[in-house]
Structures are given as structure tokens and as C-alpha cells.
Structure 1
Amino acid sequence: MTDPSSLILLAQIGRPQGIKGELRVKAFTDNPEALDDYGALRTADGRRFKVKRMRPGKGVLIVKFEGVNTREEAEAENGTELFIERHRLPPVEDEDEFYVTDLIGMVVVDGEGLQIGTVKDAPDFGAGSVLEITGGAGSVMVDFTHANVPDVDLAAGRVTVIMPAELVTDENDGEEDEIGEGS
């Protein structure tokens, strides 16, 4: 059995498209149309899905999976998440590219090298990726830009984060500054 922590979410099945078992699929890959390049996809419980054919749709892929032949079978898969094992991902080509899964759990340090937390997640809500950092006082989200995150050292398991001024605690009153206010 595959270790669930080694699974990488590549796509999520949505509602059926038509009556012949096609499904709307949201791919979480840089190139959605490369979804079938990964071979058989799997669910967290081990079921396998092999792409028979696919085509681009409006904001999704329209996918026909082997073994899903009716609208009823397709409806049963709505919401199903599709994964691959981490080792099946191609290596990154640029030193400034990272897989989110490789960042999660890394130690976060400030500009002086002092630990301030760990990376919980690196979601992209459409306007660019952010790092969700958990630490002593809870959780904070920081835009994943070179200005805010000047160094990611995968080998050392460390991310350097320069906190934006609006997220830094004011030492005089112990409260966080409001976004847009100056010090």
C-alpha cells in the first residue's frame, strides 16, 4: 500500500458532461492538458482511473475514463480527488520552481536566521501562490514572491521569509498593524 503522505493531488472530478460517462475535471497541474502524461491516476483509497480521451472545456477538462460509461457512473465520481505518487512527478527544471508538497513542513526563518514557524501550505487562490506559515501565535499568509521569500533551501529544509511590514507586530502595543497603516 502506498503511503498517503507520498500522494500528490493532481485533479478533482466534477459533474458529468453528457450521458456517455464523460466528466468535467479540474486539473491542478501547470499544463492541465498534460494530465494524461502521468499515466493512471488513483484515489486515496487505491482505485485507479486511466484517461481514455480528453479535450479542453471551459475552465476544465472533459475526460472520458476507462470503465466509466454512463451518466450514472460519472455522477458517482463527482468530487473524487485524483492523485499520483510523488516519485512519478518529473524533476523541476528551474531552481526557482518547487512542488508545493516539498515545501510543506519546511522550517521558516526570518532574515537573521531565527525560526519563526513552519510551512503549512502553499495555496494559489488565483492571484498567485501564498505561503501559509504556522508558528507561536497562530497562522499567517504571505505572498510567495521573491521579495517576501528570497531563499528556499530544499536540501536544508528551510525557507527564508521577510515578513511584509503590515504583518509585523508593533513592539510598542503588542497588536498587529492594520494593512495600509504606516508605522
Structure 2
Amino acid sequence: MPALVCVARIGAAHGVRGAVKLWTFTEDPFAVRRYGPLLSKDGRRQFEIAEVREAKDHLVATFKGVATRDEAERLNGIELYVAREKLPATEADEYYHTDLIGLAAVTPEGEPLGRVLAIHNFGAGDIIEIAPPKGTSMLLPFTNAVVPEVDIAGGRVVIALPQEIDGEDRDDDPSPGRPGLVRKERTGGRDP
């Protein structure tokens, strides 16, 4: 089965004709229509968007084969995925979370630090989470200064630990992330 990337999550039913609230994790919310049928996480179920329109902070969508509120209510909480190869190519210094998660993290001298666990954005820019072999994970800014090199083909990211973190105990409380898109910049990133 190809690598899947989460692009949306189905929310509560909307109205009585099978519509649902739909939260997308793509740069253009309407991009979910262009990927073709969307898959459940296990790849066993397919969902084809029949209609979609914009709402306040989400989309309202109907899926082919879903015509009643009861059917729509049963979809609440399902995450929708597409195969990684269906996503558009990235620009320079732009990466999909799924391409970064699992990469080895090393110092500029090549010493191992751990693995990339997640990419987060709490509103002030993108954060890369590194899980060391032992101890708590590190949350670091995903900037050119801290992450000077991303080598996806080589399976690693180079991490230049900020001076205030290098050698200190790390006691961060990580939160779960979402695979999306991240751009290495001095001022932050963007969603897919």
C-alpha cells in the first residue's frame, strides 16, 4: 500500500441531506476535490466528494452515496487520506510532514540526536520535534538556522542546536502533530 497523507477530517453532520462539516489540511481547502477519491486511514473505504462549499471556518461537503443525516453522522471523525504521489511537488525548502517524519536527526558534525517525530505549528511558526534515543523529545524552530540541511534522499536532517539548548536538560511536553506541509523560513511556514 502506498504512503498515505491525511488531507481532511470529516466532522458532524450538516443539515438533513447527508452533508458534513469538512476540515481540510491543505493550503487550498478545495484541493481535496482534485485528488480524486479519498481513502480512510486503513485504505479500505473510499469517499468521493459530490459537492463542496465554503463555510465559516470549514467546508460543507456531500459524498457520493451519502444522502441522509443518519449516514452523514456515521462518518463523523473519519480522517481522509490520499496517496503521497498525488500531492503536488514541493518548492525549494518546502517539505511535506510525511517526508520528514522518521528521518534521522544529526548534528552538523554527524553525531546522532534521534529521529524526527513530528512537525507542529502552535501559531508562532513551525516546530520540529526530535525524539532522542533516551529522554524527552526536543521541540526546535524549523528554521534555516536550526535546521540548515534537509536530506530526504539521505534520510536525515542536520540540527544545529541553539546555544541555549545545547547541553541543557530538555523537558518539553509534545503535542500530536498532523502531516501537512512545512516551509523552512526565518518567519514561519505554511499549511499544505
Return the TM-score normalized by structure 2: 0.81
2:75 is aligned with 1:81: no
User: Is residue 166–residue 176 contact of structure 1 (8 Å, CA) maintained in 2?
Assistant: no
Give the corresponding residue for 2:126.
129
CA distance in structure 1 between the partners assigned to 2:32 and 2:16 by the alignment: 23
Q: Return the letter of the residue paired with 1:16.
A: A
Moved more, 77-86 or 106-115: 106-115
Structure having the higher helix fraction is: 1
Please give the residue correspondences for 1:60-139 in structure 2 after superposition, counting only pairs within 5 Å: 60-92=58-90, 94-135=91-132, 136-139=134-137
**Which runs of no fewer than 5 residues in structure 1 stay unpaired?**
178-183
Q: CA deviation at 1:105?
A: 1.0
Contact 2:137 2:170 in 1 (8 A): no
SS in 2 for 1:98: strand
Q: Is the CA contact 1:168–1:176 (under 8 Å) kept in the aligned structure 2?
A: no
**Superposition RMSD on alpha carbons, in Å?**
1.7
Aligned residues of 1:21 and 1:71 also touching (Cα < 8 A): yes
Residue 154 of structure 1 is matched in structure 2 by 152
Deviation, structure 1 residue 72: 0.9
Letter matched to residue 56 of structure 1 = E
Q: Which runs of 4+ in 1 moved over 4 A?
A: none
* Alignment partners' CA distance in 2, 1:134 and 1:169: 15
- Mark the runs of 5 or more structure 2 residues left unpaired by the alignment: 172-192
Q: Distance in 1 between matches of 2:71 and 2:64?
A: 11
Displacement, 1:176?
5.3
C-alpha distance in structure 1 between counterparts of 2:67 and 2:79, whole Å: 19
1-side partners of 2:60 and 2:122: how far apart?
22
Q: CA deviation at 1:87?
A: 2.0
Structure 2 counterpart of 1:102, which letter?
D
TM-score scaled by structure 1?
0.85
- 1:40-51 superposed matches below 5 A: 40-45=37-42, 46-51=44-49
Letter of the 1:142 counterpart: L
Q: Secondary structure at the match of 1:123?
A: strand
Greater Rg by CA: 1
Matched, 1:35 2:32: yes
